[in-house]
Amino acid sequence: MKSKFYSAITAVILLAISSQSFSQGTVTQPPSGDNNRCVVTQYIGSLVSVTVTYNSPNVTGPNGEDRRGKIWGQLVPYGFNNLGFGTATASPWRAGSNQNTTITFSHDVLVQGKPLKAGTYGFFIVAQEKGPWTLIFSNNSTSWGSFFYDEKEDALRVTTTPQETSFHEWLTYEFTDRETDSATCALIWEAKMIPFNIKVPHMTDVYIANMRNELRNSPGFGWQAWNDAANYCYVNKTNLDEALAWSNKAISMTFVGGRNFTSLQTKSEILGALGRTDEAKKVLDSAISDPTATALQVHFFARGLQAQGKKDEALRIFQMNAKLHPNEWPVNWGLARAYSAQGDYKSALKYAKLALPQAPDQGNKDNIQKGIEKLQNNQDIN
């Protein structure tokens, strides 16, 4: 078996030398072994990218031979091996064919829970007949194959457990699982899958750092971007002091500030998150009273308070809405929901009946009618 293995390696080396001599000319030749070059990129969230660049061999050999059952442990030998060429005496598998397989991370990540800096790495795998397999991320990403592998250039080693999978003729990299701050990348070939997890630590910090840069560019010439950045921090309960400064710019920055219900509401919520309750209430009331505030905006804000279990504050906002926007849809329906949440079904029924003829479409009318029937039976409509 070893003689066949070294014969195959010799053939690969000759192909590489042949390809290299042609590449020094003026024409491009097919890839060595006809193993096509492939690139796959997956974004984690909106900003972080992972790119795998590799050459893809297939299970069927160059002479048409079926190599099923001969990939793992034979074509891809177990452990480290002396390939008989180059400077390495103990080489891992190149995790593909021809040049280094490379993986590029746009940002710092955790691979299998271990930190790895942003950059491009040569990717190698040490297959094992039994037990976990080792994945190697090398600072050397420019070599041809693993003939010149040097463990001193390792940036990270982690382990994973291969899994059985459906047959894949061509060696492929896929992202088999994708979350807002992580993804699972997997090499899949023949009937094995070698997965590894990539996670972005402190993803909110990545977005906030990017927002800081964007706000110094064209997005910063409009109040919406400042407000969106502030609101992102509020929603994620982070960076609140800077978020308040951004919110103030959204409201009153020279030339681009936009004082309106949305920007004032954002500032109120940030102040509340900072524990500045009295200030938050004052700014919220000014938001609701602002000429830009619509009955529908205030209604949905109060509904959000109800969803948070803040029934008393929601009732107060629904009542303010009624004073500012009397007889507008959906003011009376909001009061009906508010009083129902308080257990005051009599008052709720009164406002539900007032809301029925104001409903803008049949769907809302049907919903209110069902609410009236519930309230008549002393049932909550929320």
pLDDT at 10: 46
pTM: predicted TM-score of the whole model, two decimal places: 0.85
More confident site: 198 or 28: 198
Q: Are 38 and 54 in contact (CB under 8 A)?
A: yes
Residue 249 predicted with pLDDT over 90: yes
Q: What is the pLDDT of residues 293-331, one digit of tens each?
A: 999 999 999 999 999 999 999 999 999 999 999 989 999
Average pLDDT over residues 236-253: 97
Q: What is the pLDDT of residues 191-237, one digit of tens each?
A: 999 999 999 999 999 999 999 999 999 999 999 999 999 999 999 99
Q: Are 43 and 203 in contact (CB under 8 A)?
A: no
Closest CA to 332 of 321, 342, 343: 321
Helix (H, G, I), strand (E, B) or coil at 313: helix
With vertex at residue 121, the alpha carbon angle to CA 116 and CA 127, rounded to the nearest 5 degrees, is: 90
pLDDT at 9: 52
Distance from CA of residue 235 to its chain's centroid?
Answer: 17
Helix (H, G, I), strand (E, B) or coil at 325: coil
Percent of the chain with pLDDT over 70: 93
Closest CA to 191 of 92, 69, 49, 82: 69
Helix (H, G, I), strand (E, B) or coil at 274: coil
* Residue type (1 letter), 164: E
User: C-alpha distances in angstroms, 21 versus 15, 24, 34, 45, 367?
Assistant: 10, 5, 17, 43, 77
Closest CA to 48 of 206, 175, 233: 206
Q: Are 240 and 224 in contact (CB under 8 A)?
A: no
Q: Which residue ranges make up each domain of the chain?
A: 33-199, 203-376
Q: Which CATH class is domain 203-376?
A: mainly alpha
Average pLDDT over residues 266-279: 98
Separation CA 354–CA 18 (nearest Å)? 86
Separation CA 321–CA 302 (nearest Å)? 9
